[in-house]
Structure 1
């Protein structure tokens, strides 16, 4: 999207800015080390030598090279980009967040210890997918070449705190491909192996600096002195926009030097991730005599850009709106069922500098998460860390607040209907349904399979939208999706109906021609379309769940998740429901956030259908940021790959039988669903955009030479706040 900004002011409103992200709307060409120059017309200012024809927004055209036209580029030397590029075994590269430069540890010692500890577990249990000899699904940490496997495993290990290593977390929290007796056993085996590996490597790591020693208490009076000294340097015209935040509580509670680095990155990442139209990454500025404790930030750097929004809409749950639950907005005004028609953003075509929008957003943040999802009452704001009398906000409280789903929806100015967001972002739909690249993945984070697509935007960016459906009750004693597939009780509609049928949603001007909303499993109000084979849903007889696809209009049993690239290179997120309407959360019988159900049994976490777990829902904002720690998560286009390679496509009446022998339909499926060899480089392209932006945060906010964080920093800081302030767990918390 274009910016109508004076050239002299594009950088930022105050110190702490990071320069523009390259020559185009994508952060390529940074310092001449990154491939392409953005906007899909890269002429190779970096190593990729891209000469894209504009169809691929990363400058590489529709080919297989993710870094530009021609031969793949080479990784930047010594982690200068702030992220890692490793060979994918197919002539290209995979992009990883962690990069350990030569000389930062004893690599030979690490390789030897890796081969003796973690590597045997990976070979035995992960090489079926994560090896160049098989599927080559990144990360390739189980490759038959131990040196390549070692390089990938280094991106998933925390030598200083092994329990936080992704290799361990994938078993203990995500329940991914667990081996042994169960996930608890797999977690224990992997943790023991990683600890043994770390024991050999940790002594060679550089020390993380800590300007204020552990155990030395930082008082509120000291925090106030730092703030007052800095305030004396602030111009009167800027004072109302300048805010201060402090990490002294995190320090005083015993955080390690590495955890303080995580919190610093989490602070900046949360601010920049909610900067809806800001053009560049801007880091808060240390005002505590380089102690890394108290930071100043200017609200205009994040929210001083606008597209004509003059009032922030209610950011809470559509359930509260549509079902008449008690709710008021952050101003204390009653929210009625007509709010979705009364509140409609009318975005301007261009982004403009607008300090008044920064004031509006800050007012919403200060109100707290009072619009979150609730069954019967207004939520408390949960703003204990806003210390107005002392002139600062405790850092974890700030990170927690801006990522609450209702706050996030409001300050990101996300409209009520997905079509309006797509119009504002300029999602390209010129070729009808062929405008999108579709995927179906059998095993995602969803309860059943997932259908999703990637679209391009007129700014040269990307837009991903998923389709996840209620799978409905199963017959007999079937409890898992795998058992259902084995018995032919296939509910996921896109195996049997791979050609998406776009239909009208409700509100927001959504029509079938808008290519925004897809027929899934109809859930009509007090009626059953032909072929529905319906039954009462989990909430009783008010709605009917269709067991199988009908392709009809109306309310759908679906949830959609959307990810798009922000102008500063980070990602925006939104959740949508059965009307194509904006939501704050996704039901746990569609998708689950394993971090908030980590204490549930394995069977509940992995595959059981229905509301098998506690109704702690996946939330807009925090859950999305936490899950997408490295940007776009990877996936395979199973529908296309299995079609090409005679793989395990679901068969039977509700599988692929109706079209698999029809050459015209098969040809259309192949046209709409590119193989994984095409879509995986697309994902790496989009990850690169994101990780380039995150690297600009890590370079300034991390103290010491190791510019990596080994956990998602925003979610770490959020969870610290929840524990410190003892905020009650609710649907929106």
Structure 2
């Protein structure tokens, strides 16, 4: 059963006893203050039931379980060698399916492909200027046992030089580590992850989930969204492998041809992350922190440089928070250009808005509303949706607000890239009509007339990069340049086959017309940039394309999202396409001569279509260059606006959160400590790990006036502002399976009692385990006082809190490690291969806990693999979507395989004791 009360105190009155658990004790000790009563002594660990997973051999004969004795006789706690703490991190959304090695047809107006690699022949021509994907590397042998950092070779024996990158199939720009632990982790990531996440080594066209630098260990170890220094179980990179989220093709697509993740692989990753230090701050070395005063001063100075008639229309976008949070110079260059690319993609004038920064650090981009063709009401619409609207406590702020005639003349550029690149704000700012006929009327496209007069030009093909079935693309000339639209199908049979019904769509006077299900359009804006539109076959505008028709592997739900998905695929404009319909139909005498002649006129030969697409490609590239942008620029293989979009949706570390409030980390911490219990709770989560973006966004303004001198602005009712719903794509963590684990203090003294709190975003079965320096785990939840470990989403589970009759006393200097695991779908009473009976085995010990947890996951993964091997293609597709639904918090279809119904979230914190 699930408890209904929102606050559960784990620790109940039992015969007036106070139970004390010594955290990280060398032999997990439980201490009870009782009168000769052995209340907490657990029975030996119960063997798994006959239908459970095989027991961990190390658990079969556990070390002596917690023994009951007076607290005064407690054995001293031992430190755990692991640095920084970490709370719950949202389990990122599942990744999309691997793409075929070659690029999709160039003019397909949507996002990247998601078709089974083995089933898709490479298209005839790659996308212009796209990097040529390398063949997937051959599976590496399982890594050799990895020495711990303490066992590193003596300095006198220099490490051998790494083998030449070319010999291992590694691109030259990737540094192969010489450190044994890092090299072992590198090999694991190469074997299991590089095919989807390393630019230059992909078996798809672009990096999955917009993450393309998996083998740059120095970069990912400095990204707290991926790696928490010294804390494997708190690191999202490790969590995803341990919890069977990654590799995506193995765990979501049930691809049994890919190598299995072994226990040695997981241990290699664990060893490497344990040895990492805090590298996030290193990127800020020598960088001056940019304050709110600096921002206002730079904007004020820029306004004074403007002609009088332009001052009122000046507006600004800041990337200062990213700079202060140690984003690299390379990344900042991409972010600036990605922001300006998006701004131009929302323009209504014929002139481009050029990239221009107004501050020394190049973190503030200035624009003029008139140059975009925007009104003040358009800016007010942006502000009405802005979740960070605050007036800084800076005297010069009133000057810039008065001069620009707005309460807030600047917004954060990363938020804008995330919100304005997708519906509904994208549709609103671009003034997109509600239906397809409205769009063609606005752009002046006489669709039927152009088709009848053979002005329209078509290409059709069986497979495309984004569509799951055959697809037709069609070009029309418009006054601003070009209008491309697609006809997409839910199947490829009967009237949905272009090779049987090449003419259409179905309308009066057209024989043999096809019947399509929807379409995607790309059109030239007056400034030469591109606009995007999705619609159903009846013309109704869509925010997202149905995944059974089109997919975007960079989105966590695989759906093509209008705007941002299209920008990611068409990063440099139109993409080449090779028509297959013309040759097939004109050579087939079963079609009438009229049909064959009509097809020959509507479907030009490939040479002519290539020239048309090249002209349109150059038109867009020319516009980007006029705006001061590099059309080929990417960040680890990710298109520039998508890179900024992703940076915003990533989870936040303390340093990143502090930068968003405008303070260095230490000042931020002190301000939040002074701001009261709720602010302290958020600060503690950030201090011990990362916080999902959607949660942080909701909390931001709540603490502005308590922790800063800024004042919250109400921008919801500004003149002319349009009410717009929240973005349809939540940040990647939104809706995912997330565990929050925090302690009540940042650090403790010997003898202090710790209070732990756990919150899950899903209904699940929770385990909390303390792990000592020898690797022995003590199950501290569930226990004999609270046997039910089923928890509801949002329920707070408090361990050792005030009024509880058991407590967790810290007895040894060093590091305390606590791991939380919550399971959905199976093994809801098992942890690390041990079936838990909280009554008979309360506070039981699990020797070699980390290795046992790894073995349990590997055993379950192998069972899933065996189940998947018996599925046909349709069943695998059903299982894939069922597991995506499970991972994103949606309903799982009945009859889905067991492997698709399972989900695990885990996290860990490491607490200093002095």
- TM-score where L is the length of structure 1: 0.49
* Larger-gyration structure (1/2): 2
- Considering fraction of residues, name the structure with more strand: 2
Higher relative contact order (CA 8 A, sep 6+): 2
